[in-house]
């Protein structure tokens, strides 16, 4: 896809690299993808008829050059469900639920993870850091597992244990931070900085905003199919309201961009009114908006049991959302935890939809705005049902699936506390393992097995010659070696390693798809520590070998 990254502050245009996170001209972290709307606006709609209903149907408007179908878990393409009973109860018949619970890990964060991981994979990145109140880390973990990426998931200790277990189940390293979510983000950022790892930047992550906007595309496309009554002169329709529970506000920022793009391509007439809803105990955007403030006053100690929504300091996201809400005649609103839990019951009992408390906040907000007359009975409303009540995965993981970090106090973060906390997360140096293997899929498999079960520094080479150079340079603790490779085969690599003193004792595991002849077995005997036949080596066996060979 051809697109450029435009700086929101100075307008500078630059090509896209996931690892460059600031404007090369003014250093701003606030940038967005810009496409050729003129051409795409004219050509994309006719193509949609033959494409599957997932988020990649809008691929011309996504920042991934070659969407990789092998990473997909069926992201996007969630149903738009009419809430008939709720509509009757509230006297507002046109309420629709965008059911994002039906994403692969049951929250709308799956879009963010699918697009971001696809872009990172395309850029050759194999390790990343994310701070999360739960769902982001779950989604990233699922996609990281498919893509052969390692995820360091920093979560606050208030995240429900079953969500943490879900993260660990996918093979990510869970790091539990006893502190606020804002502190958790700081620790994660410092960890990523020290180790030069890619880090999710919330609403400043270009791929995340781009992913979220597909919700807007789908809503317009689906609403048109359902409500194609009067001819507006535009190909697609939009609702009067878009209602969503927010934490940092990434969802509505992306979704607004989606509506804006459709408007500029002439697909829709108007952008709906935006209604971002927060939990009362952590509602910095709502209170700041109601006071008419241009910048948000942060909430330093959130008082809500709905941890998913506990962003106390929204930073500049508030300024964007404030504009969007004001431009569309929308409204910010907050609701109590009790109202959210009540809405959760109503939604389940009246519509058969079991939402997580954070998603129920949007419905409690809807009820409040209808009662207050802000949303009118004749309005068409779309509410984002952002996440499902999580199924528990208790019992399958055993102990030691997380590392705990306790910060000193909750209202201040001394730099020392932060640094000593980080040293608890992971040692300075991990055992180094070199993978020398010419097939990309096999490399990915071996890397993934290692990543999902422990912390290793993984080096990779795609042929024998490159592998030998790498081993001689890096002196790894272990080599996982293929036999059949171009340039120099595995037998020759072993001979070269054993011939030099520095590399003579490095343990080697041969992982091969080849049936070995008796003569070949002889050549390997005494030279390697272990032989694994690809295709029948299992995760556990392989790791046992690795652990035994690295002391």
Give CA–CA dist 22/549, Å, rounded: 43
Decide if residue 87 touches ligand PLP (CB under 6 A): no
Residue 107 site contact among Zn ion, ligand PLP, none (CB < 5 to 8 Å, cut-off depends on kind): ligand PLP
Query: Which member of 110, 356, 438, 477 binds ligand PLP (CB under 6 A)?
Result: 356
Q: How far is the CB of 457 from ligand PLP (least distance, A)?
A: 32
From 51-59, 242-250, 426-434, 500-508, span contacting ligand PLP (CB under 6 A): 242-250
Phi, then psi, of 334 in degrees rounded to 5: -125, 155
The minimum distance between CB 248 and ligand PLP, in angstroms, equals: 5
Per-residue tokens: 526:
């005494």
Phi, psi torsion values for 479, nearest 5 degrees = -120, 130
Read off the tokens for 364. Answer: 């409690």
Sign of CA dihedral 119, 122, 124, 127: positive
* Three-state DSSP class for residue 371: helix
110 touching ligand PLP, by CB under 6 A? no
Which listed option, ligand PLP, Zn ion, none, makes contact with residue 246 (CB within 5 to 8 Å by class)? ligand PLP
Choose the contact partner of 135 out of Zn ion, ligand PLP, none; CB within 5 to 8 A by kind.
ligand PLP
Cα separation, 286 vs 318, whole angstroms: 9
Q: CB nearer to ligand PLP: give 170 or 537.
A: 170
Query: Is residue 113 at the binding interface for ligand PLP, with CB under 6 A as the rule?
Result: no
Using CB under 6 A, which of 246, 321, 347, 381 touches ligand PLP? 246
Distance in Å, CB of 340 to ligand PLP, minimum: 11
Residue that the structure tokens 């051809």 belong to: 2
C-alpha–C-alpha distance, residues 300 and 343, integer Å: 27
Residue 251 within binding range of ligand PLP, rule CB under 6 A: yes
Q: Give the residue with the Cβ less far from ligand PLP, 247 or 304.
A: 247
Residue among 550, 551, 546, 548 at smallest CA distance from 452:
546
Q: If binding is defined by CB under 6 A, does position 247 make contact with ligand PLP?
A: yes
- How many Cα neighbours within 13 Å face the side chain of 354? 5
Binding of ligand PLP by 530 (CB under 6 A): no
User: Is residue 107 a contact point for ligand PLP (CB under 6 A)?
Assistant: yes
DSSP H/E element including 458: strand 457-461
Which of helix, strand or coil describes residue 226? Answer: helix
Query: From the list ligand PLP, Zn ion, none, which binds 192 (C-beta under 5 to 8 Å, kind-based)?
Result: none
Are the C-beta atoms of residues 257 and 226 closer than 8 Å to each other?
A: no
Residue 272 beta carbon to ligand PLP: minimum distance, rounded to whole angstroms: 16
Q: How far is the CB of 132 from ligand PLP (least distance, A)?
A: 9
Each residue 394-433 as x (binds ligand PLP by CB under 6 A) or -, in order, gives: ----------------------------------------
Which residues of this chain interact with Zn ion, rule CB under 5 A? 7, 9-10, 12, 23, 25-26, 28
| Region 261-320 residues binding ligand PLP, contact defined as CB under 6 A | 308
DSSP per position, 474-542: H--SEEEE-SS-SSS-HHHHHHHHHHSTTTTT--EEEEESSPPPHHHHHHHTTT-SEEEETTT--HHHH
Query: Which residue number, 25 or 345, has a Cβ lying nearer to Zn ion?
Result: 25
Structure tokens at 76: 């996007």
Query: Least distance from C-beta 108 to ligand PLP, angstroms?
Result: 7
User: What count of residues does the chain have?
Assistant: 551
How near is the Cβ of 278 to ligand PLP at its closest, in Å?
A: 9
Question: Which of ligand PLP, Zn ion, none has residue 51 at its interface (CB below 5 to 8 Å by kind)?
Answer: none
Name the residue among 146, 135, 127 with its Cα closest to residue 111: 135
Q: Are 61 and 261 in contact (CB under 8 A)?
A: yes
Which residues of the shown chain bind ligand PLP in the complex (CB under 6 A)? 107, 109, 135, 245-252, 308, 356, 358-359, 386-387
């Amino acid at each position: 896809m051809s697109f450029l990254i435009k700086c929101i502050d100075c307008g500078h245009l630059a090509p896209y690299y996931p690892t460059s996170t600031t404007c090369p001209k003014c250093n701003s972290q606030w940038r967005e993808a810009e496409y050729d709307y003129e051409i795409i606006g004219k050509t994309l709609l006719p193509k949609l008829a033959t494409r599957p209903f997932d988020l990649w149907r809008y691929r011309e408007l996504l920042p991934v050059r070659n969407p990789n179908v092998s990473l997909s878990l069926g992201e996007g393409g969630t149903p738009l469900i009419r809430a008939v009973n709720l509509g009757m109860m509230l006297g507002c018949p046109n309420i629709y639920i965008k059911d994002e619970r039906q994403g692969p890990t049951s929250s709308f964060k799956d879009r963010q993870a699918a697009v971001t991981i696809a872009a990172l994979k395309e850029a050759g990145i194999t390790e990343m850091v994310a701070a999360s109140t739960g769902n982001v880390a779950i989604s990233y973990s699922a996609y990281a597992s498919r893509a052969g990426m390692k995820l360091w998931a920093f979560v606050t200790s208030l995240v429900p244990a079953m969500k943490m277990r879900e993260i660990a189940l996918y093979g990510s390293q869970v790091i539990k931070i006893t502190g606020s979510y804002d502190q958790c983000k700081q620790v994660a950022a410092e960890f990523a900085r020290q180790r030069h790892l890619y880090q999710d930047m919330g609403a400043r992550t270009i791929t995340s905003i781009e992913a979220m906007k597909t919700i807007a595309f789908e809503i317009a496309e689906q609403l048109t199919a359902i409500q194609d009554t009067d001819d507006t002169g535009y190909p697609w329709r939009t609702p009067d309201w878009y209602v969503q529970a927010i934490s940092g506000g990434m969802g509505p920022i992306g979704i607004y961009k989606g509506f804006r793009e459709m408007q500029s391509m002439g697909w829709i007439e108007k952008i709906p009114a935006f209604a971002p809803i927060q939990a009362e105990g952590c509602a910095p955007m709502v209170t700041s908006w109601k006071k008419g403030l241009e910048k948000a006053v942060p909430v330093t100690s959130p008082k809500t049991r709905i941890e998913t929504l506990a962003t106390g300091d929204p930073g500049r996201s508030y300024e964007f959302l404030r504009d969007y809400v004001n431009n569309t005649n929308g409204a910010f609103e907050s609701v109590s935890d009790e109202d959210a839990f009540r809405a959760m019951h109503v939604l389940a009992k009246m519509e058969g939809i079991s939402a997580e408390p954070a998603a129920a906040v949007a419905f409690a907000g809807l009820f409040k705005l209808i009662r207050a007359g802000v949303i009118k009975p004749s309005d068409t409303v779309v509410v984002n049902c952002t996440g499902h009540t999580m199924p528990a995965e208790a019992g399958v993981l055993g102990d030691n699936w997380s590392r705990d970090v306790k910060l000193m106090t909750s209202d201040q973060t001394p730099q020392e506390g932060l640094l000593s906390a980080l040293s608890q997360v992971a040692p300075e140096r991990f055992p180094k393992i070199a993978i020398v293997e010419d097939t990309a899929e096999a490399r990915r498999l071996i890397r993934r097995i290692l990543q999902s079960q422990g912390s290793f520094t993984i080096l990779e080479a795609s042929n024998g010659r490159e592998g030998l150079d790498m081993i001689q340079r890096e002196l790894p603790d272990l080599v996982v070696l293929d036999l059949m490779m171009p340039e120099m085969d595995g037998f020759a690599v072993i001979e070269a390693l054993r011939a030099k003193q520095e590399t003579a004792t490095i343990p080697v595991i041969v992982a091969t798809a080849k049936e070995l002849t008796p003569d070949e077995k002889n050549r390997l005997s005494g030279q390697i520590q272990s032989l694994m036949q690809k295709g029948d080596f299992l995760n556990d066996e392989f790791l046992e070998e690795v652990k035994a060979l690295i002391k």
